[in-house]
Amino acid sequence: MIEVDELRKVYAGSVEAVKGIDFEVAPGEVFGLLGPNGAGKSTTIGMLTTTVRPTSGTARLAGFDVGEQPLLARSVSSVVFQDSVVDRSLSGRRNLDLHARLWKVEAAAAKERIDELVQAVGLGDLVDRPVATYSGGERRRLEIVRSIVSDPRVLFLDEPTVGLDPLIRAELLDLIAELRDRSELTILVTTHYLDEAERLCDRVAIMHAGAIVALDTPERLRAGLGRELLELRVDGDAAAALTSLRSRGIAHETAFTVGSTLTVPLNGHSTSEAIAAIHELGIAGAVSARRPTLDDVYLRLTGGRLAEAA
Amino acid sequence: MTALALSPLATLSRRRFQLTARTPRELLVPLLTPIMFALVIAPSLKTALHTQASYESYVAIGTIGLLIPLNTMFAGLGVIVDREGGAQRELLAAPVPRALIVLGNMLVAVAITGLQVAVLIAIAVARGIHFDATTGGVAWFLAAATLFTVGMYGAAEILANRVPKQEEYIARVPAIAILPWFVAGALFPITALPHVLRWVTKFLPLTHGLALMRYGLLQDGSGLHNIWGMSDSAAMAALSLGVLALFALLLGVVSVRVFSRAALR
């Protein structure tokens, strides 16, 4: 449904925002693009939604080339933008109706679909009020409803929950999960909230500095770090501690540091064996053992840039 | 333009009209200055300068030359509002040619300006100002006013897509909308200007617009003669209409290009 081939974007000043990426998303699949700010996620979505001109490479949505057939590519897709993109002085219904008309949804069908969707997301009482009176969460729900009024085949969600409080975020994740379950919609979602990616996505691509550094299911990506890992909050030089653990054969290539935190996948070593080695080496700090998460995969691959971005 | 393209154009125009109707300042503020000219300044000038009733007719057309630029420049603000906090990106993601977004806005600007010009003329007639309009004259007037409005909206759209903030846009409005009005024959014939400035004003679309509108509604070809120096009024009117058509076409096309380029990073 989405085919991306050697897609590249160089902005003025030779800033290479996206470095020739490739991926494919199957019909009905939810695909996540993860990465810190500046990784190239929004530029990628911009190229797929034809608001950013690719420097080279191609992308197709439902078979339509975004460069050669932009109107057809846009007709099968919809976007929920990172920040609010609505006409605030118009009512929610007017915003929804505008989308339906521009995407050429037949009037009676549009009305029926709008009524059904606004009830489903709890906006029934608000939809005829100006959007300026909506809360942030209500506005987000309206934008999600708007994006599916035209029954798109491809939906782009660009950081859909960024800046929202935890309760609204949880509600929106439920809504997106429901979309995923009840339709054959292909979704491409960008986020740097990894719990979102784990919950929603069939596969994720981790972007770093304009390139895709990993692409697989969340389970397989986690499996790359083994079944268990140790996390050390080191009182001192974490890099030096990592070097010592490597020399003892406890830490391998997959171990990494972010600030003063050292993360060591155990890869067959037992927890007690590893902790004993830590004590013997005189590495001071708090130690805990846990199962790997997607955060660990992400942090290992992006070198802790997430922390900088947050 | 095919029927297929007209449907989204109507949708986009309808949206812009709904947004404009919800911001009364966009409808009322541009009217204030021309109405003040028509009701206060023109009668005062007539008294102070001991001019004839025809001067009020002269200035009544002159105020239209202020209303059109002010109204179109205010309409251009909507483009920045759309970009900064409105639904512009949603429109850019829609399966419609992006030129239609500009044309939709332009249609509404032309319609609202037309309404305001009608209000201004109605006020002038109510005050007893005489217009000498024939069917042909009204056609010249409408053609001049429409082409000048299209060109000025094009200028507003270009400016709105070139400056990042509303404050910067507003700061440039006087130079574009008001300054030319003082020298384009709105309040006095351009022959009263110093020689060099008179030549410069002949290149202003507003000078041609005002001369043509006076030719249409007052049967007064002196403004056209001051520009072209010919004796055939109809020929001069056609030439000035050509200048306005060129102005409208050029600014219209450039505004679409500038919008499309600004929208596509």
CB B172 within 8 Å of CB B88: no
What pLDDT was estimated at residue A203?
94
In chain B, residues with a C-beta closer than 8 Å to the C-beta of A99 are: 90, 94
Minimal Cα distance from B4: which residue of A?
A: A104
In chain B, residues with a C-beta closer than 8 Å to the C-beta of A78 are: 93
Minimal Cα distance from B83: which residue of A?
A: A85
Percent of chain B residues past pLDDT 90, beyond the cut: 59
Task: Label residue A168 by pLDDT band (50, 70, 90).
Answer: confident
Amino acid letter, A263? T
What pLDDT was estimated at residue A159?
86
B15 shares contact with chain A (CB less than 8 Å): yes
The minimal CB distance from A51 to the residues B19, B23, B89 is found for B89
Q: Which residues, in sequence order, are bridge partners of residue A157?
A: A80, A189
Helix, strand, coil shares of chain A as percentages rounded to 5? 40, 25, 35
Residue with tokens 């003669």: B225
Which whole number is the average pLDDT over A202-207?
92
Least confident stretch, A140-149, B3-12, B133-142, B167-176 = B3-12
The domain A2-218 is classified under which CATH number: 3.40.50.2000, 3.40.50.300, 3.40.50.1370, 1.10.1200.10? 3.40.50.300
Q: Which residues, in sequence order, are bridge partners of residue A290?
A: A229
pLDDT in tens, A97-146: 999 999 999 999 999 999 988 888 888 899 999 999 998 888 988 998 99
The minimal CB distance from B87 to the residues A50, A87, A103 is found for A87
State the Cα–Cα distance between residues A92 and B186, nearest whole angstrom.
45
More confident residue, A262 or A139: A139
More confident residue, B244 or B29: B244
pLDDT in tens, A84-103: 899 999 999 999 999 999 99
Task: Label residue A307 by pLDDT band (50, 70, 90).
Answer: very low
The minimal CB distance from B18 to the residues A81, A94, A102 is found for A94
CB A149 within 8 Å of CB A117: yes
pLDDT for residue A308 is more than 50: no
What pLDDT was estimated at residue A310?
40
A186 shares contact with chain B (CB less than 8 Å): no
- Closest by CA to A41, choosing from A21, A55, A56, is A21
What pLDDT was estimated at residue A156?
94
DSSP assignment, residue A5?
A: E
What pLDDT was estimated at residue B49?
63
pLDDT in tens, A22-58: 999 999 899 999 888 888 998 999 999 999 999 999 9
Task: Label residue A162 by pLDDT band (50, 70, 90).
Answer: confident
Nearest 5°: CA angle at B248, between B245 and B251? 145
DSSP assignment, residue A251?
A: S
pLDDT for residue B5 is more than 60: no
What pLDDT was estimated at residue A239?
80
Would you call A4 helix, strand, or coil by DSSP?
Answer: strand
pLDDT in tens, B10-58: 999 988 888 888 777 766 776 777 677 677 776 777 777 655 657 888 8
Mutate to test the interface with A, among B90, B98, B100, B108 (most CBs of A within 10 A): B90
Q: Which residues of B196-221 are buried (b: 16+ CB within 10 A; e: fewer)?
A: eebeebbebbbbbbbbbbbbbbbebb
State the Cα–Cα distance between residues A1 and A24, nearest whole angstrom.
7
The minimal CB distance from B86 to the residues A50, A51, A87 is found for A87
pLDDT for residue A301 is more than 90: no
State the Cα–Cα distance between residues A133 and A295, nearest whole angstrom.
37
Task: Label residue A309 by pLDDT band (50, 70, 90).
Answer: very low
What pLDDT was estimated at residue B187?
87
pLDDT for residue B158 is more than 90: yes
What pLDDT was estimated at residue B3?
57
Q: Calculate the average pLDDT of chain B.
A: 88
What pLDDT was estimated at residue B26?
67
Cβ count near A109 (within 10 Å) = 12
In chain A, residues with a C-beta closer than 8 Å to the C-beta of B96 are: 71, 102
What pLDDT was estimated at residue B31?
72
The minimal CB distance from A87 to the residues B7, B19, B92 is found for B19
Nearest 5°: CA angle at B240, between B237 and B243? 155
More confident residue, A91 or B129: A91
B95 shares contact with chain A (CB less than 8 Å): yes
- Closest by CA to A26, choosing from A186, A148, A154, A190, is A186
Say whether A102 and B23 touch across the interface (CB within 8 A). Answer: no
Amino acid letter, B99? A
Least confident stretch, A113-127, A256-270, A294-308 = A294-308
Say whether A51 and B23 touch across the interface (CB within 8 A). Answer: no
CB A60 within 8 Å of CB A3: yes
Q: Which helix (H) or strand (E) holds A21?
A: strand A15-25
In chain B, residues with a C-beta closer than 8 Å to the C-beta of A46 are: 265
Domain ranges in chain A? 2-218, 226-291
Q: How far is A68 from chain B (nearest CA, A)?
A: 13
Q: Do domains A2-218 and A226-291 have the same CATH topology?
A: no
CATH class, range A226-291: alpha beta
CB B102 within 8 Å of CB B256: yes
- Give me the DSSP letters along A178-247: HHHHHS--EEEEEES-HHHHHHH-SEEEEEETTEEEEEE-HHHHHHTT-S-EEEEEESS-HHHHHHHHHH
In chain A, residues with a C-beta closer than 8 Å to the C-beta of B87 are: 85-87, 95, 98
What pLDDT was estimated at residue B6?
67
pTM: 0.82
- Closest by CA to A29, choosing from A234, A186, A247, is A186
A vs B: CB pairs below 8 A: 76
pLDDT in tens, A184-193: 789 999 987 8
pLDDT for residue A210 is more than 60: yes
Percent of chain A residues past pLDDT 90, beyond the cut: 42
Q: Calculate the average pLDDT of chain A.
A: 85
What pLDDT was estimated at residue A306?
44
What pLDDT was estimated at residue B241?
97
pLDDT for residue B249 is more than 90: yes
Say whether B90 and A81 touch across the interface (CB within 8 A). Answer: yes
What pLDDT was estimated at residue B254?
97
